């Protein structure tokens, strides 16, 4: 934050002091991107012009008064794309090579020959065609997988996905996918998009990877799809309740991998988040357009 502190008075605060810190502030760096403290402190944001969020998703921050205001919102698009794509590839390989079972057998000192799967030639549907989804598509394509996308608008000549189907055609697209990767933003249109209907539309034996937001999925319906065998497995970096309660059935399912919302958190990620804000702050000082400006009605950076 040193480059910022050279040109501005910087106040650090937690949620309890947010209203006092906002008094007279023109810029808010929302480093705790999951905080819900801003609505209660909004009355003090009389001078606020710009909010930068230390995340790609801004859903936790959005509320009606902010959407209707003139305050500009930017996000940290680009910091997590490659790391999350690597996480997705790792989980797909783990499913195909059955790494969790290998670890269980090793723990029991059991030598048991098994066969594994190839991922080359298998089909992957990436739901969400923003920067993270595109990084996933490029990496999966590089290892020989057949990748398609699902987004708001259909197209047939996309540089990363080739074919992108519209969200309205998602059930048909799911029926052809061996692996379904969710990397969509959370909006009112995508909240609980994946429910019993969509899980029933999936190819028997498909695997499900969620690196978007937990609230994109009805967790109870996911549990039932896993129990019934509709889905062969799930890798979940995000859940609608975080942390996941100790007694939740997902913990004990052998075909489920749970990680604590850290798929993009590689060494140096905290510094990278501050660097993005500092760069945008320098652009503001120079009178240049800010990067990663969020369309507050859509809930993400358009054209990303």
Residues 100, 13 share a domain = no
Residues 134 and 153 in one domain: yes
In the chain, % of residues over pLDDT 70: 100
Catalytic residue among 77, 134, 148, 213: 213
**Beta strands per DSSP E along the chain:** 27-30, 50-53, 72-74, 123-127, 146-151, 155-158, 162-166, 179-182, 206-210, 231-236, 256-258
Region 242-267: mean pLDDT is 97
| Claim to verify: residue 23 and residue 90 sit in the same structural domain | no
Q: Is 261 considered catalytic here?
A: yes
Residue-level pLDDT at 168:
92
Catalytic residue from among 26, 117, 242, 288? 242
Residue 251 maps to a domain: yes
Going from the C-alpha of 27 to that of each of 11, 73, 93, 152, 192, the distances in angstroms are 10, 10, 43, 32, 33
How confident is the model at residue 304, as a pLDDT?
55
Please name the residues in contact with 295: beta carbons below 8 A apart, sequence gap of 6 or more. Answer: 301, 302
**Is 303 contained in some domain?**
no
110 and 61 share a domain? no
Check whether residue 130 and residue 43 sit in a common domain: no
The domain tally of the chain equals 2
Expressed as residue numbers, the domain containing 10 is 2-78+266-285
Percentage of the chain modeled with pLDDT above 90: 97
Shared domain check, 86 and 69? no
Predicted pLDDT of residue 34: 86
**Contact between residue 50 and residue 290 where contact means Cβ atoms under 8 Å apart:** yes
Q: What are phi and psi of 282, to 5 degrees?
A: -65, -35
Q: Which residues are paired to 71 by β-bridges?
A: none
Which value, to the nearest 10 degrees, does the dihedral of the CA atoms of residues 202, 80, 91, 150 take?
20
32-86 pLDDT, tens digit per residue, is 988 999 999 999 999 999 999 999 999 989 999 999 999 999 999 999 999 999 9
For residue 257, pLDDT beyond 90: yes
pTM of the model: 0.93
Same domain, 98 and 143: yes
> Is 17 inside any structural domain?
yes
Same domain, 104 and 12: no
Distance CA 220, CA 239 (A): 11
Q: Are residues 21 and 73 in the same domain?
A: yes
pLDDT for 262 equals 96
Angle between helices 131-142 and 81-97 (to 10 degrees): 40
298 inside domain: no
Cα–Cα distance list, 180 to 143, 204, 221 (Å):
16, 12, 16
- Whichever domain contains 149, its CATH number is 3.40.50.720
Strand 155-158, strand 162-166: pairing: antiparallel
Structural domain contains residue 300: no
Other beta carbons less than 10 A from residue 8's beta carbon: 15
Query: 113: which DSSP letter?
Result: -
User: Per the residue annotation, which of 152, 155, 248, 261 is the catalytic one?
Assistant: 261
3-state secondary structure of 149: strand
Q: Determine, yes or no, domain membership for 293.
A: no
Statement to judge: residues 118 and 57 lie in one domain: no
Task: Report CA-CA distances (Å) from 233 to 92, 98, 129, 144, 169.
Answer: 10, 11, 23, 21, 23
The pLDDT value given to residue 26: 98
Rg (CA), the chain: 21
In this structure, are 65 and 144 located in the same domain? no
Note if 113 is an active site residue: no
In a domain, 120, yes or no: yes
């Amino acid at each position: 934050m040193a480059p910022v502190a050279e040109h501005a008075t910087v106040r650090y605060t937690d949620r309890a002091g947010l209203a006092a810190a906002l008094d007279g502030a023109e810029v808010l760096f929302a480093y705790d991107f999951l905080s819900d403290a801003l609505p209660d402190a909004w009355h003090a944001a009389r001078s606020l012009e710009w909010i930068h969020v230390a995340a790609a998703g801004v859903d936790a921050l959005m509320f009606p008064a902010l959407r209707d205001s003139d305050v500009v919102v930017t996000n940290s698009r680009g910091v997590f794309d490659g790391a999350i794509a690597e996480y997705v590839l790792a989980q797909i390989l783990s499913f195909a090579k059955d790494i969790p079972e290998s670890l269980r057998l090793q723990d029991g000192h059991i030598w048991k020959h098994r066969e594994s799967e190839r991922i080359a030639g298998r089909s992957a549907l990436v739901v969400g065609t923003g920067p993270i989804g595109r990084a996933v598509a490029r990496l999966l394509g590089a290892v020989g997988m057949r990748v398609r996308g699902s987004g708001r608008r259909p197209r047939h000549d996309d540089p990363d996905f080739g074919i992108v189907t519209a969200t309205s055609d998602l059930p048909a697209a799911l029926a052809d996918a061996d692996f379904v990767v969710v990397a969509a933003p959370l909006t009112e249109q995508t909240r609980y998009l994946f429910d019993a209907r969509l899980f029933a539309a999936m190819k028997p034996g498909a695997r499900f990877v969620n690196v978007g937001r937990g609230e994109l999925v009805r967790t109870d319906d996911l549990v039932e799809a896993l129990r019934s065998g509709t889905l062969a497995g799930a890798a979940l970096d995000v859940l609608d309740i975080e942390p996941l309660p100790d007694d939740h059935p997902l913990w004990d399912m052998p075909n489920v991998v749970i990680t604590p919302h850290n798929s993009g958190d590689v060494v140096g990620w905290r510094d990278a988040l501050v660097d993005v804000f500092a760069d945008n702050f320098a652009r503001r000082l120079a009178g240049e357009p800010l990067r990663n400006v969020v369309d507050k009605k859509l809930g993400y950076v358009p054209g990303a």
